[in-house]
């Protein structure tokens, strides 16, 4: 990790010195462990702030849309997939981004760490191979990294950047092909159970729209939830309104969601958004055999039409 | 859409889609009749979720 941090810093420094880019978007360390935060570097001297660790979890593709400067970005597998998807939607000019690709072996979920430590404050973290030593005031614990990863990272099938101008470090072994076991399990439950589950989840929603803002693919200038004339959906925190909001959000991401999990990580209430998002990711894969953001050449799946497209939704006559 | 709504807990059969051309009047009438009966059998819509907000 330290090694990658140095390589990222060197790459960013060189880009800024050569004036290849005006700005580098990356991560800087937080004041506490596992709190790395997006940062914007404009001078070669400032590149020392850049880090690469196990909490570089934000999707930086979010900061690249409609910019006039030339931007360098430090990007993981999921970030590059979002960038590819945004280039295809004409939101990012390929000539104006310089992608510093970093293969990613998954990011650590702070909530899982918190649960493991039973709420005690984490003050120091050191990595030893596949285990992490977590230290705080008067305690220390070790845990396997794989137990603490985000769910979306565990099921990630594309940890290596799909598009890059420069790759840092060695590609990591791609995980197993995503089987969508979680979604299949959910689908197998009775409708009433699913309804009960989602009711419970969405009654937590406070409609802060952090999920929408964290999502690189949610970029409409005027979002359907902000509209008041006409008011497309209710704006209260009634679970029914929240549910409709989430269904609308997920539906707008059909065939575009790269399953980076940024929405769920942004959620302050810990709502399981993955189970709703991934349902559509799975449907698109099952019906059309497509995954978003893997290649610049193919057309977006819902932009294409074939007379033999499957139509399992039609009413049976 | 149908798949997503049913996944989220809407009863199976409440959401129905079909293609009908403007020239297919008879087929349209048939379909509407079928769907109406189907939905009547399902009874009133309980909404996506049953619980209302607790104050």
Mutation to test the B interface, candidates A180, A184, A185, A195, most B Cβ within 10 Å: A195
Whether residue B25 lies inside any domain: the answer is yes
Whether residue B29 lies inside any domain: the answer is yes
Residue from A240, A239, A313 nearest A283 by CA: A313
* Summary mean pLDDT of chain A: 88
Asked if the interface predicted TM-score (ipTM) of this complex is over 0.85, the answer is no
H helices within chain A, ranges in order?
Answer: 2-17, 77-88, 110-116, 145-148, 151-154, 181-188, 191-202, 210-214, 239-252, 262-266, 274-288
Share of chain A above pLDDT 70, in %: 98
A11 HSE (CA, 13 A, CB side): 27
Nearest CA in chain A to B53: A238
Nearest CB to B35; choose among A279, A312, A315: A315
Domains of chain A: 1-107+156-176 (3.40.50), 110-148 (no CATH), 178-306 (no CATH)
Peptide bond into A230 cis (omega under 30): yes
What's the CA gap between B17 and A312, in Å, rounded? 10
Distance from CA of B39 to the nearest CA of A (A): 12
Which ranges of chain A have pLDDT less than 70? 1, 175-176, 317
Whether residue B11 lies inside any domain: the answer is no
Other C-beta atoms lying within 10 Å of the C-beta of residue A102? 27
pTM, whole model, 2 decimals? 0.87
What's the CA gap between A100 and A54, in Å, rounded? 17
Mutation to test the A interface, candidates B9, B13, B39, most A Cβ within 10 Å: B9
Residue from A76, A81, A63, A55 nearest A23 by CA: A63
Whether residue B27 lies inside any domain: the answer is yes
Nearest CA in chain B to A203: B53
A134 within 8 A of A201, measured Cβ to Cβ: no
Nearest CB to B12; choose among A191, A243, A314: A191
A60 within 8 A of A104, measured Cβ to Cβ: no
Whether residue B38 lies inside any domain: the answer is yes
Range of the domain at B34: 18-43
Q: Is A81 exposed, middle or buried (0-12, 13-18, 19+ CB in 10 A)?
A: buried
Beta bridge partners of A166: A100
Q: What is the pLDDT of residue A317?
A: 67
Query: pLDDT tens per residue, chain B (55 residues)?
Result: 677 877 777 777 788 888 888 898 898 999 999 889 888 888 777 656 555 555 5
Whether residue B54 lies inside any domain: the answer is no
Cα–Cα distance list, B10 to A127, A186, A245 (Å): 46, 14, 15
Number of domains within chain B: 1
Nearest CB to A198; choose among B1, B8, B30: B8
Distance from CA of A190 to the nearest CA of B (A): 9
Give A-chain residues touching B52 at CB under 8 angstroms. 238-240
Nearest CB to A243; choose among B6, B19, B49: B49
Q: What is the pLDDT of residue A307?
A: 84
Mutation to test the A interface, candidates B6, B7, B53, most A Cβ within 10 Å: B7
What's the CA gap between A123 and A79, in Å, rounded? 28
């Amino acid at each position: 990790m330290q090694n990658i941090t140095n390589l990222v810093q060197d790459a960013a420094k060189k880009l800024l010195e050569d004036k290849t880019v005006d700005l580098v978007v990356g991560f800087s360390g937080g004041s506490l462990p596992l709190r790395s935060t997006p940062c914007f570097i404009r001078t070669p001297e400032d590149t020392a702030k850049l880090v690469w660790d196990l909490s570089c979890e934000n999707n930086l593709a979010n900061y690249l849309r409609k910019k006039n400067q030339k931007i360098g970005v430090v990007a993981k597998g999921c970030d590059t997939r979002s960038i590819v998807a945004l280039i295809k939607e004409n939101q990012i000019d390929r000539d104006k981004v310089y992608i510093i690709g970093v293969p990613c072996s998954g990011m650590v979920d702070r909530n899982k760490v918190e649960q493991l430590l039973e709420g005690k404050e984490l003050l120091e973290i050191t990595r030893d191979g596949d285990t992490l030593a977590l230290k705080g005031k008067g305690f220390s614990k070790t845990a396997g990294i794989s137990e603490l990863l985000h769910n979306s990272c565990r099921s990630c099938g594309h940890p290596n950047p799909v598009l890059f101008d420069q790759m840092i470090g060695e590609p990591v072994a791609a995980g197993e092909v995503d089987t969508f076991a979680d979604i299949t399990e959910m689908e197998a439950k009775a409708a009433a159970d699913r309804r009960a589950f989602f009711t419970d989840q969405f009654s937590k929603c406070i409609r802060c729209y952090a999920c929408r803002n964290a999502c690189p693919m949610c970029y409409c200038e005027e979002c359907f939830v902000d509209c008041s004339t006409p008011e497309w959906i209710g704006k209260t925190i009634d679970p029914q309104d929240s549910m409709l909001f989430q269904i609308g959000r997920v539906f707008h991401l059909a065939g575009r969601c790269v399953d980076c999990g940024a929405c769920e990580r942004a959620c302050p209430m810990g709502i399981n958004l993955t189970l709703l998002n991934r349902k559509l990711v799975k449907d698109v894969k099952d019906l059309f055999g497509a995954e978003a953001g893997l290649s610049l050449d193919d057309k977006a799946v819902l932009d294409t039409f074939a007379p033999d497209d499957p139509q399992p939704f039609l009413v049976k006559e | 859409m149908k798949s997503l709504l049913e996944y989220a807990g809407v009863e199976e059969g409440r959401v129905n889609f079909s293609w009908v051309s403007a020239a297919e009047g008879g087929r349209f009438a048939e379909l509407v009749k079928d769907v109406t009966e189907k939905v009547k059998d399902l009874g009133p819509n309980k909404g996506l979720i049953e619980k209302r907000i607790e104050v």
